[in-house]
Amino acid sequence: MWNPRVITTDAIPIFLQRGGKLLYHPHHSPKGWVWELWGEHPDGKQEPIINSKSGETRIFKSADALVGFHMRIFPDATVVPIPTPKQEDDEEHEA
């Protein structure tokens, strides 16, 4: 069944007006680190944001692309919250 709360890239301005937040989740891909775009609803529920053109989760293949996107959405921003990937050494020590 269709999820009425799916967020698309075209709907980001409305999502933000309604109190939503954007999150960037780092993931390692075969070509290096990428960041998935996620949205957090005011109730705390998180879900990936879907690219309106491709129907896939919106992914940034570089930090430059992520910063450019963030600056278009938030032109007055002075800080871009880009989470760094967890280091492999950290994962080994936690195990």
67 within 8 A of 82, measured Cβ to Cβ:
yes
Query: pLDDT of 20-74, one tens digit each?
Result: 999 999 998 888 889 999 999 999 999 999 999 999 999 999 989 999 999 999 9
pLDDT for the residue 83 = 84
Tokens read off for 6: 């799916």
Q: How far is the CA of 23 from the CAs of 2, 30, 75, in angstroms? A: 23, 22, 17
Q: Is 57 helix (H, G, I), strand (E, B) or coil?
A: strand
β-bridge pairing 46-50 and 32-40: antiparallel
Task: Quote the pTM value.
Answer: 0.81
58 within 8 A of 50, measured Cβ to Cβ:
yes
